[in-house]
Amino acid sequence: MKPTAVILGIAFASALGQAHSDGWKQFRGPNGSGVAKESRPPVELDAAQLAWKTALPPGLSSPVLSGERVFLTGLAKGRLVTIAINKADGKIAWQNQAPKVEFEKVHKANHPAAPSVLVGDKRVFTYFGSYGLLCHDHDGRELWKKPIPTPKTLYGMSTSPIVHGKHLIMVLDNDANLPGSRLSQSKIVAYDKTNGDVDWEIPRPLHRSGWSTPMIWKHGSETELVVLGNGRVSGYDMKTGTQKWFVPGFSRETISTPVAGNNVLYVSSSKLGGGADIQPDPLPFWEAVIRFDKNSDGKIERKEMTGHFTFPIRPELPLGHPGYGIPLPDDKRRRQERLDGMFRGTDRNRDGFWSREEFMSNMRGGRGKPLLIAIRPGGQGNITDTHLKWELNRSIPEIPSPLLYSNLIYMVRNGGLLAAVDATNGKLLYRERLNAPGQYSASPVAANGHVYLGSNRGIITVVKVDKKFEIIHQHDLKDPVLVSPAIDKSTLYVRSEKALWAFRDNK
């Protein structure tokens, strides 16, 4: 960390209010919590409550809000753009292009416009993995821009910037990290929000690419930056820039954002590949591969591994979906080699077949374990044995972040399963189906005693906040919902694949 970091870091604590403000100014709102206090959006999302609907270019950034506008990003006519929309009528106030660049390589389920915008009192900050940072005022005038080398990642960038005092904080973890090297390509960087200059950096030599947005945890007189990365969650002292504590055991691929409350930090990540339970049921995985049994002998031969065949990771998705199974090369020769290796890895008795028993036994192997943990403050070093309040290994989502509201933790996962957990002791209170199956990428948000959940198929479900499960309302947008909604005093803003919807309580 540069010497100036210590001096500038002291100013962080006095400016903490910005990180905990009630405005929905960053990904998932106040400090990434997903909770809008003192807001009353409508509970029934029908035509009478639809204030407006505005067509959008494709993108996967969540809406963020200022007093008068909604800000998003997208890809329009081959250029990355920042978009400002008037809250009052849904009209596009301005749409500004980023500099023309070569797009970073992203997974088919990701997008070059995935990170969410960050809003300050007078400025709007946009990060594109393909370019870097851009700063506009609220009327769209460009104030500065900062090219940033694109980190090497498995699936493309999605982490969003947060603000703390005079700084924009970015986690730029990078697969270019070399084991044993003293040079760390992964790092946390603080940019001066007035001009984009780098004020300090914290190296992260143990980390490779990740997709989680960091958050600020204030407890007592302490202020910590919490970063969930591959394999572990870490806490950094914002006055010195040093890593204070960490908890290992997380998946290689971490996506969700931690949340805090009750003087406790809550962090979640599924098993690698999206496994929600510590011991998943292997039957759906077998049923996904046995459909390729062309001769109906109840086994899989190597010659039957054709077409869209791959080893299933998320069997609830349709064949050919980019998240369905282990990605295979497009090159025919390399694809065949990968399938050969896949077959040999499961055919352990070398009889030339995958039997049901052999396959299901292989599925019971490990890929890490799903985790939801509660962390008490005050730890140093590896705090697994000293500061974990409780741990849960069931019903953990892959992409959606946990929601802490009214001392309950809500988690929604693929298949349309909603879990409610007692935040005090980690007890699973219920795990119920939402009657809206399929994949879930959007994180839940909450206001006025209700939780709002969006499915990839476009169904919005409203659930009452209670220890007992109760669906209050469901509405089908008939357009996929892949990102988290935003909430202001009276309106729920939902970005679907093709549009931004504003549902407003007009009472």
Q: What are the domain boundaries of the chain?
A: 3-277+367-504, 283-363
Long-range contact pairs involving 292-299 (C-beta distance under 8 Å, separation at least 24):
298/355, 298/356, 299/353, 299/354, 299/355, 299/356
CATH 2.40.50.140, domain 3-277+367-504, yes or no: no
At 22, the pLDDT band (50, 70, 90 cuts) reads: low
Does residue 494 surpass a pLDDT of 90?
yes
Q: What is the pLDDT of residue 215?
A: 97
Question: 19-28, 171-180, 248-257, 305-314 — which is least confidently predicted?
Answer: 19-28
Does residue 277 surpass a pLDDT of 80?
no
**pTM, rounded to two decimals:** 0.83
Q: What is the pLDDT of residue 176?
A: 86
At 284, the pLDDT band (50, 70, 90 cuts) reads: confident
At 405, the pLDDT band (50, 70, 90 cuts) reads: very high
Percent of the chain with pLDDT over 90: 71
Question: 42-51, 339-348, 493-502 — which is least confidently predicted?
Answer: 339-348
Place of tokens 């870091």: 9
Element (H, E) at 51: strand 50-55
Instruction: Find all residues with CB under 8 Å of 287, minimum gap 6, and list them.
Output: 315
Give the SS3 label for residue 49: helix
Average pLDDT of the residues in 178-193: 80
Q: What is the DSSP letter of 401?
A: P
The domains spanning 3-277+367-504 and 283-363 adopt the same CATH topology: no
Q: Do the beta carbons of residue 170 and residue 118 sit within 8 Å?
A: no
By C-alpha distance, which of 448, 388, 438, 387 is closest to 417? 438
Q: What is the pLDDT of residue 182?
A: 60
CATH code of the region 283-363: 1.10.238.10
